[in-house]
Structure 1
Amino acid sequence: MKNWETYWSAKKPGFDYIMRNTTPVFYEKYLKKTDIKPHHVFLDFGCGPGFLIEKLPAENRIIGTDISKDYIEFCEEKFRSSKNVFFECITEKNSFRTILSKEKPDVIMAISVIQYFENNLVLKKYIDEVMNYSKENKKNIQFIIADIIPQKNSKLIDAFEVFLHSIRKGYFLDFFRFCREVLHSDYNSKQLKVNKTNPEFFELYAKEHQLKLEFLKNVTVNKNRYSLVFTF
């Protein structure tokens, strides 16, 4: 039985081609405009090859996490000269909860990641981990989830929006390489289901736990997707 954890356990070059061009959009449209303090510790959940980490201020402590040992090893080599950047491979023994307790981040980011959770129950447990960490440490947390796929979402529209962006920004060859990998890999396997989550799920969670929730518009390439920020 194939699952996303198995799929992402190894580095995916085709996705790297597209993410190196689309991930920085989130930084430019949102993070760059926020009030980043030098003492803030950032945690990038699902960091992949570290394209978002490249954009973050060098003076901040930055933690990249991923389930892929390949990506973690790649990033450790890529950022070996960066004194404030560290990486953690998420495993059964080194869980997300363990990493939170150890690294104590102020800002947690999950960009183009939660669609690979098994279902919304797993997503809820993931948000619970951040909320519990915030409460246990009496720490204010900014938790950003970006590029969320809603129920009524079209793969064709998604692809077309990235295609247009690739034409405008001059990375059409990277877009072509990405499409080739998607079409010739297990990504489109019937056993691999992308999890789609409507805004109402997050609104209900925020209401139940009395959390501040802000929806963000047009901070990623795909405008039919959405992003949000929880403040714990």
Structure 2
Amino acid sequence: MHATKNAGTASDTVKSGEWGKFWETQKTAFYEVMKIATQGFAKKLVATYHIDNSHHILDYGCGPAFLIDDLQRTTQHIAGVDINPFFIEQAKQNHPHYTFALISTDIGQTRLTLQQQLAEKQYDFIILLSISQYFPDVQSFSLVIDMLSGYLTNGGRIIVADVIDQKTSSYRDALALLYQCLKRGKVISFTRFVLYVLFSSYSETSKKAKLLTISYQEVNAVAAGCGLKCESVPGLTIHPSRSNYVLSKK
């Protein structure tokens, strides 16, 4: 059955939750480390899928547009959306020639915003990088995938990267991140990142609302419910114990 038909009305189903409130108000979280992790993903994305200027890309959960900073060297057809007004304003200032839209944790409102801001546009790649863990539940994740599937080109792909599941090891991922920071001489940035995770509002929020884990079986079921096929693709990000999935039209 189609994902939205199972869920009741979107506005009744999707609530902002603690993580939604957290990301709506962030201005400085993880900045240097986010850049490093995003650069690693962008490089692998371009190499794996041979992205060039013919491709149109939508970054869903774009933050301050770090991914777009990297992808603009490869394609000029880029758009980004995020729930944080500060991030969107920063993205617009840095990339005034691209489309950016402020969305909501309410899927009904987001659907309306995308209809207005993106009109009839379609994308070869829709990227959800490191945001699946902040959904309140798998059903909310499913509603977003269902909505985004309508913006895919015939050969388009939704790439859900850095997904946390039961096999994820924080220790292994932290070591991989430390290695990348050492390569770039960003040890101080890594230290600040660790301190932020342990002692900031991020830590407080994680105690109230645990990060969402999503299994392969759940992602596959979400894809099937949206009329998509699911492929697991290892190694797309610098985090070795997180999963990555490519969802495409059957």
Under a length normalisation based on structure 1, what TM-score does the superposition of the two structures give?
Answer: 0.86
Is this contact kept in 1: 2:145–2:226, CA < 8 A?
no
Partner of 1:106: 124
Partner of 2:241: 224
Partner of 1:201: 218
CA distance in 2, matches of 1:49, 1:209: 29
Partner of 2:144: 126
Task: Trace 1:139-158 onto structure 2 (pairs within 5 A).
Answer: 139-158=154-173
CA distance in 2, matches of 1:153, 1:206: 21
Partner of 1:115: 133
**Given the alignment of the two structures, is residue 186 of structure 1 paired with residue 205 of structure 2, yes or no?**
no
CA distance in 1, matches of 2:188, 2:34: 13
**Unaligned ranges ≥5, structure 1:** none
Partner amino acid, structure 2, of 1:180? L
- Return closer, same or farther for 1:120/1:2 CA change in 2, 3 Å cut-off: closer
Task: State the SS of the aligned residue for 1:95.
Answer: helix
Partner of 1:73: 89
- Return closer, same or farther for 1:210/1:70 CA change in 2, 3 Å cut-off: closer
Partner of 2:61: 46
CA offsets 1:8-65 (integer angstroms, 9 cap, x no match): 1123424111111111111112223323353432110111111110121455321111
Partner of 2:174: 159
- Aligned pair count reads 226
Residue identity (%): 28
CA distance in 1, matches of 2:225, 2:109: 29
Deviation at 1:157, TM superposition (A): 2.9
Partner of 1:55: 70
CA distance in 2, matches of 1:130, 1:2: 21
Deviation at 1:143, TM superposition (A): 0.6
2:228 to 204, 211, 217: 211
Deviation at 1:158, TM superposition (A): 2.5
- Return closer, same or farther for 1:208/1:125 CA change in 2, 3 Å cut-off: closer
Deviation at 1:117, TM superposition (A): 0.3
CA distance in 1, matches of 2:179, 2:215: 25
CA distance in 2, matches of 1:88, 1:210: 26
- Return closer, same or farther for 1:94/1:31 CA change in 2, 3 Å cut-off: farther
**Unaligned ranges ≥5, structure 2:** 1-15
Is this contact kept in 2: 1:111–1:145, CA < 8 A?
yes
Task: State the SS of the aligned residue for 1:106.
Answer: strand
Partner of 1:9: 24
Deviation at 1:133, TM superposition (A): 4.6
**Given the alignment of the two structures, is residue 26 of structure 1 paired with residue 44 of structure 2, yes or no?**
no
Partner amino acid, structure 1, of 2:142? K
Under a length normalisation based on structure 2, what TM-score does the superposition of the two structures give?
Answer: 0.80
CA distance in 2, matches of 1:162, 1:124: 29
Which has the higher mean CA deviation after the structures are superposed, 205-214 or 117-126?
A: 205-214
Partner of 2:102: 89
